[in-house]
C-alpha cells in the first residue's frame, strides 16, 4: 500500500514507525545504464505539469505505483509523487536513490525503448 508524502509526515510525527523495503531504507542506488559514460546533469529540466498529465506514459507510471493525480504535488523543479521526488534531468540513465527518481523527460522516455525498459525496471524494484 502506498501513502503520499503528507500521510507519511503525519504518521512520522505521531511516532508511528513505517515499514520500508530494505532496498529503500538503505538508500540504495539503482542505475541501469549500459554505457560507460554518464552524461548526467544535476540541473533540473523544466516541465509543464498540465502537459505531463495528458501523456499516456505518465498515467501508466502513476497506475503502476498505485497513485493518482491527487497524490502528486508540483514543486518548482520536481514532482512529489507519493514518497518519491521525481526530477527531470539531462541524463542517459534512470536512477532511484534516496527516494529520488531521476529521469530524462517523458518525451524522451516515450521515444526510447531503452529508457522505457530502465524506467519499468526501476519502478518494479521500487514497488
What is the per-residue pLDDT for 37?
Answer: 39
Segment (H or E) for 30: strand 29-31
What is the per-residue pLDDT for 64?
Answer: 85
Residues of the chain with pLDDT under 50: 22-40
What is the per-residue pLDDT for 122?
Answer: 87
Cα(39)–Cα(61) distance, integer angstroms: 24
pTM of the entire structure?
Answer: 0.64
Cα(100)–Cα(115) distance, integer angstroms: 17
Query: What are the phi and psi torsion angles at 28 (to 5°)?
Result: -65, 155
* Grid coordinates of 106: 517523458
Amino acid at each position: 500500500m502506498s501513502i503520499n508524502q503528507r500521510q507519511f509526515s503525519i504518521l512520522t510525527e505521531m511516532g508511528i514507525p513505517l515499514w520500508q523495503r530494505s532496498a529503500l531504507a538503505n538508500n540504495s542506488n539503482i542505475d541501469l545504464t549500459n554505457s560507460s559514460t554518464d552524461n548526467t546533469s544535476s540541473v533540473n529540466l523544466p516541465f509543464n505539469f498540465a502537459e505531463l498529465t495528458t501523456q499516456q506514459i505518465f498515467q501508466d507510471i502513476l497506475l503502476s505505483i498505485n497513485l493518482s493525480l491527487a497524490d502528486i504535488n508540483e514543486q518548482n523543479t520536481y514532482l512529489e509523487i507519493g514518497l518519491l521526488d521525481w526530477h527531470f534531468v539531462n541524463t542517459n540513465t534512470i536512477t532511484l536513490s534516496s527516494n529520488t527518481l531521476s529521469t530524462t523527460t517523458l518525451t524522451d522516455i516515450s521515444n526510447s525503448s531503452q529508457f522505457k525498459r530502465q524506467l519499468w525496471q526501476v519502478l518494479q524494484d521500487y514497488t
